[in-house]
Structures are given as C-alpha cells and as structure tokens.
Amino acid sequence: MTAEQGLFLCAAAFTLASAVMVVSARRLIHAALWLIAVLSGVAILYALLQASFLVVVQVVIYIGAIAVLFIFAIMLTRRQTDHDAPSRWTRRAPAFLISLLTLGALSGIVLAFPEAGRLPPPMPPDLDAVNALGAALLSPTGAAAYAGVLFHESYVLPFEVASVLLLAALVGAIYLATTERRRRES
C-alpha cells in the first residue's frame, strides 16, 4: 500500500464515519457540526484529486456559508429541534432497506464499469486549472481560449442560468423567510 492509498483510506473512513454521525446524531446541532466534518473530509478528497479550486470553494461555500445557514436555521427552530425524536422502526427499516438496495445497485454499476480500475493520467504540467475553468465557464468557445485549440465544450449558458437561479432563490427564500407583517411594512 502506498502512502497515497493510506491517505485516501484515512480520509474516506473519516468522511464516512462523520456521515454516519450526521444521520444518527440525536441533537441536531451536532448533526450539523458532523456535516462540517464530512465536508472537510470531501475537501481532503478534492485535494487528493488535485482540484485546488474546488477544495477552497468547498470550504468557503459549504463550510463558511451553507453550514452556517444550517446552524442558524436550527437555532431559529430551537423549541422543536433540540432533540430529534427517533422515528419509529417502521420508518427506519424501509429507509435502511432502500439505501442498502441503492448501495448494491450503485456498486453493481461501478463493478460493471469498464474503466473502474483505471489509474489517473499524469496532470498536464502546465495546466492552470482555475484559469482553464474560467475560460470554460465564460468563453463562447470554451476552454479553447485557454488551450489555443479550436473548440471545447463551453458552459457559458449554464453559468449564466446558474446566476439567474441564485437570484430567483434569493428572492424566493427572502419572501418565505420574512413574515407577512414585515412585508406589509416595507
């Protein structure tokens, strides 16, 4: 076993153990904090995959914003959520069964996938991934602008649509989160 495999196994074990805690912790705030552990574990996996931009984005957006929003929401609904009462086994057993079946199905797909045993190709030495990502997201010719080739997949439209989606989410979420009285006042 190489050092890299050891690192991967440590990160994977940490991520999965935290994930189990997320779905089993009684106190919701602890579940949210375990979610942060999962998110950091996933960030370590991104680092192993050499996707630098996504490592920092994972920490900035997921841990810095989404997890904080979760904690705020849990504290806003404190009266009910200090302890999440365990659901009955009639609910947990089918849930467990369904996830187990899904796991089996996904594992089957992975095992049947012809490229599953593949090892990673070497990173292109002069690839500036963030720069290329910017070109892919914003140039009509895609990463072509970065790489100097003729054509590449371009994500201009999805990127712009994503920003519209975020605006819509902002407006909708604000509408839902403010009370009627507050809305009438303004």
Partner 1 sequence: MRNEWLYIGVFLIVAIIVPLVPLGFAALVAPRKPNPTKRLTYECGVETVGDAWVQFKAQYYIFALVFLIFDVETVFLFPWALALNRLPMFAVTEGAVFLGILVAGLVYLWRKGLLEWQ
Partner 2 sequence: MSIPLSWYLFLAAALFCTGLYGALSRRNAIAILLGVELMLNAVNVNLIAFWRYLDLRPNDPAPMNGQAFAVIVFAVAAAEVAVGLALILSVYRRRKTVAADEVNLLKW
Partner 3 sequence: MNFWNDPLHFLAEQLTAMLSRWGLPTAWITFIEFFLGAMALIVFAMVLDIGLVWVERKVVARFQDRLGPNRLGPFGLFQPVADIIKMVIKEDITPATADKFLYNLAPVLAAVAVIALWAILPLASTIYGADLNVGLLYVIAAGALGTLAVLIAGWASRNKFALLGAFRMVASLISYEIPMVIVLLVPTLLAGTMSLRGIAEAQRSIWFALLSPLACLIFLISAIAELGRAPFDLHEAESEIVAGYHIEYSGMKFGWFYAAELLHAFTFGGLLAILFFGGYTGFFGLEKLPAFIWLDNPFVQAAVFLAKAMVGYWVIMWVKYSLPRVRIDHLLAFNWKFLTPLALVVLVSTAILHRALMEAPRWQYGMALWLANLVIAWITIEILRAQARRQRRHQRAASQRQQTAQEQTV
Choose the binding region for partner 3 from 47-55, 82-90, 117-125, 157-165 (rule: CB under 8 A).
47-55
> Of 16, 17, 73, 109, which lies in the binding site for partner 1, with binding defined by CB under 8 A?
73
Of 170, 150, 151, 173, give the one whose Cα is nearest residue 162.
170
How many residues lie near partner 3 (CB under 8 A)?
A: 21
Residue reference for tokens 């996996």: 45
CA distance 32 to 108: 31
Contacts of 171 (CB under 8 A, 6+ apart): none
> Of 23, 95, 103, 130, which lies in the binding site for partner 3, with binding defined by CB under 8 A?
130
Quote the DSSP letter at residue 116.
T
Judged by beta carbon, residue 38 or residue 145, the one nearer partner 1 is: 145
> Of 33, 37, 137, 144, which lies in the binding site for partner 3, with binding defined by CB under 8 A?
33
Q: Does 37 participate in binding partner 2 (rule CB under 8 A)?
A: no
Residue reference for tokens 């605006």: 167
Quote the DSSP letter at residue 117.
T
Percent composition of the chain: helix, strand, coil (DSSP 3-state, to 5): 75, 0, 25
**Residues within the interface to partner 1 (CB under 8 A):** 44, 47-48, 50, 52-53, 55, 57, 60-61, 64-66, 68-69, 72-73, 75-76, 78-79, 82, 125, 128, 130-135, 137-140, 145-146, 156, 159-160, 162-164, 166-167, 169-171, 173-174, 177-179, 183, 185-186
